[in-house]
């Protein structure tokens, strides 16, 4: 089979001829392509703004100093704004969550991966706290949350960055796309700015999806033995929808006849 060589990510990759320009010949998404997309992206107004925290802390420190009743003063609470740290006790603490999870590496990993949905964007978008509050984030954000929890638990943890190589079935189970159509997964990631390309393995006669990704490594025992975790990569089991007509015994003809029984039809 003739393989088309063209600009790919990773460099030197190759791709088999696609079925349409939307598929096989779509330009590969690279980090350079992702940068202007990230910088130009407008976040929704209801997204938690991390930049407000330092200003709120300074404001409330000044209010505390001015009020003899301290944090318990009713007048102080009335002055605090709607995004106040004091008036929002639900804002979580990284260290408190790590302690609640017993400072256990496996429990921290399970918490992040089971409680945080994946968003197909690229680069740090939320950070650890916003990812924790909103329960959504890309691979960088989920890695940041896990690293923050691990460090709060007293572990040595760092970020890892590289490329994932997935089969169409693996990509489909992760993203919820068609497991038999690698281009669906490729287009979904590329539209979000994730550096991605489709590689054709002519030897094994199979497509692979290659993408940039961020994950975590942690020294659990402190002896220099590193373990790797990827909280953002998670497989889902998709269950077929329920056929309500079959379950309820609904029949359109029977329903129509029952509704019109005894009626005079004039049109």
In a domain, 15, yes or no: no
> Of 195, 206, 198, 204, nearest to 22 (Cα)?
198
Domain around 87: 48-67+79-91
Which pLDDT does position 28 carry in this prediction? 60
Q: Are residues 177 and 250 in the same domain?
A: yes
Q: What is the mean pLDDT of residues 224-242?
A: 88
Q: Are residues 234 and 249 in the same domain?
A: yes
In a domain, 178, yes or no: yes
Task: Considering only CA atoms, give the Rg of the chain.
Answer: 26
In a domain, 84, yes or no: yes
- C-alpha 226: how far from its chain's center? 24
Q: Are residues 116 and 210 in the same domain?
A: yes
Q: Are residues 38 and 59 in the same domain?
A: no
Q: What is the mean pLDDT of residues 95-117?
A: 95
User: In whole numbers, what is the pLDDT of the chain averaged over residues?
Assistant: 77
Of the listed ranges 58-67, 169-178, 255-264, the least confidently predicted one is 58-67
Q: What is the DSSP string of the chain?
A: ---B--S-SSTT--B---SSTTTTTSPPB-HHHHHHHHHTPPPPTTS--TTHHHHHHHHHHHHHHH-TTGGG-HHHHHHS-TT-SSS-TTS--HHHHHHHTTT-HHHHHHHHHHH-EE----S-SSHHHHHHHHTEE-HHHHHHHHHHHHHHTT-EEEEEEEEEEE-HHHHHHHHSS-TT-HHHHHHHHHHTT--EEEEEETTTTEEEEEEEEEEEEEESSSSS-EEEE-TT----PPPPPP-HHHHHT--HHHHHHHHHTT-----
- pTM for the whole structure: 0.65
Q: pLDDT tens-digit profile of 188-199?
A: 999 888 999 999
Examine the pLDDT at 64 and tell me if it is beyond 60: no
Q: Are residues 111 and 201 in the same domain?
A: yes
Examine the pLDDT at 73 and tell me if it is beyond 60: no
In a domain, 18, yes or no: no
Total domains, the chain: 2
Q: Are residues 119 and 143 in the same domain?
A: yes
- Percentage of the chain beyond pLDDT 90 is 39
Q: What is the mean pLDDT of residues 123-152?
A: 92
Q: What is the mean pLDDT of residues 47-63?
A: 54
Q: What is the mean pLDDT of residues 31-56?
A: 63
Instruction: Extract the tokens encoding 68.
Output: 């003899």
Q: Are residues 97 and 87 in the same domain?
A: no
> Of 136, 38, 53, 35, nearest to 91 (Cα)?
53
Q: Are residues 182 and 60 in the same domain?
A: no
In a domain, 4, yes or no: no
Q: Are residues 85 and 144 in the same domain?
A: no
Which pLDDT does position 44 carry in this prediction? 59
By CB atoms closer than 10 A (0-12, 13-18, 19+), residue 110 is middle
In a domain, 24, yes or no: no
Q: Are residues 179 and 193 in the same domain?
A: yes
In a domain, 72, yes or no: no
Q: pLDDT tens-digit profile of 77-90?
A: 333 343 343 344 44
Q: pLDDT tens-digit profile of 143-180?
A: 999 999 999 999 999 999 999 999 999 999 999 998 88
Q: Are residues 118 and 250 in the same domain?
A: yes
Which pLDDT does position 2 carry in this prediction? 34
Q: Looking at residue 203, which CATH number applies to its domain?
A: 3.10.620
Q: Which are the contacts of 262, defined by CB distance < 8 A and separation ≥ 6?
A: none
Which pLDDT does position 47 carry in this prediction? 56
In a domain, 1, yes or no: no
Q: Are residues 86 and 100 in the same domain?
A: no
């Amino acid at each position: 089979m003739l393989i088309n060589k063209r600009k790919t990510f990773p460099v030197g990759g190759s791709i088999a001829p696609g079925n349409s320009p939307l598929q096989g010949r779509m330009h590969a998404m690279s980090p350079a392509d992702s940068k202007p997309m990230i910088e130009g992206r407008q976040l929704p107004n209801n997204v938690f703004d991390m930049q407000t925290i330092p200003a709120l802390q300074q404001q409330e420190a000044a209010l505390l100093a001015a009020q003899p009743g301290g944090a318990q003063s009713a007048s102080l609470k009335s002055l605090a704004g709607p995004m106040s740290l004091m008036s929002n006790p639900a804002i979580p603490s990284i260290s408190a969550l790590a302690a609640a999870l017993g400072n256990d590496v496996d429990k921290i990993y399970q918490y992040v991966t089971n409680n945080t949905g994946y968003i197909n964007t690229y680069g740090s978008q939320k950070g650890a706290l916003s990812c924790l509050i909103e329960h959504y984030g890309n691979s960088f954000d989920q890695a940041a949350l896990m690293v923050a929890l691990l460090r709060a638990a007293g572990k040595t943890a760092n970020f890892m960055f590289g490329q994932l190589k997935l089969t169409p079935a693996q990509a489909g189970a992760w993203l919820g796309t068609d497991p038999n159509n690698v281009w669906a997964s490729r287009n979904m990631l590329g539209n979000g700015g994730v550096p991605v390309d489709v590689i054709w393995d002519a030897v094994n006669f199979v497509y692979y999806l290659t993408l940039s990704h961020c994950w975590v490594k942690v020294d659990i025992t402190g002896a220099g033995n590193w373990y790797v975790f990827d909280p953002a990569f998670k497989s889902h089991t998709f269950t077929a929808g329920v056929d309500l007509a079959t379950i309820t015994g609904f029949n359109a003809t029977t329903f129509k006849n029952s509704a019109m029984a005894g009626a005079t039809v004039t049109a």
